[in-house]
Amino acid sequence: MNNSHLKFGVVVFPGSNCDHDAYYVLKHIFSQETCFLWHKDSSLQNVNVVILPGGFSYGDYLRCGAIARFSPIMKEVISFARDGGIVIGICNGFQILCEAGLLPGVLLRNEQLTFVCTMLHLRVENNDTLFTSLCREGEVLQIPIAHGEGNYFADDETLSQLENQKRILFRYCARDGSVTKAANPNGSRNDIAGIMNEYGNVMGMMPHPERAADPATGPTDGQKIFRSVIKNVVENRYINNRKIFERS
Instruction: Report, in Å, the least distance between residue 80 CB and another protein.
Output: 21
Should residue 70 be labelled a site residue for another protein when binding is judged by CB under 8 A?
yes
Residue 1 or 62: the one with the smaller Cβ distance to another protein is 62
Contact code string over 81-100 relative to another protein, x by CB under 8 A: -----------------xx-
Angstrom CA distances, 191 to 23, 58, 154, stand at 29, 28, 12
Interface residues for another protein in 131-160 (CB under 8 A)?
153-155
Active site (annotated) includes residue 91? yes
Q: How far apart are CA 86 and CA 33, in angstroms?
A: 15
The backbone torsions φ and ψ at residue 26, rounded to the nearest 5 degrees and listed phi first, read -70, -40
Should residue 189 be labelled a site residue for another protein when binding is judged by CB under 8 A?
no
Q: Which of 27, 39, 63, 231 binds another protein (CB under 8 A)?
A: 63
Q: How far apart are CA 112 and CA 216, in angstroms?
A: 32
Q: Which of 28, 31, 111, 175 binds another protein (CB under 8 A)?
A: 111
CA torsion sign, 145 to 150 to 155 to 156?
positive
Instruction: Report, in Å, the least distance between residue 99 CB and another protein.
Output: 7
Active site (annotated) includes residue 208? yes
Q: How far apart are CA 220 and CA 229, in angstroms?
A: 16
Q: What one-character-per-residue DSSP string does 59-92 give? A: GG-SSTTTTGGGSHHHHHHHHHHHTT-EEEEETH
Q: Which of 39, 83, 108, 220 binds another protein (CB under 8 A)?
A: 108
Residues within the interface to another protein (CB under 8 A): 62-63, 66-67, 70, 98-99, 104-106, 108-113, 153-155, 187
- Known catalytic residues? 91, 208, 210
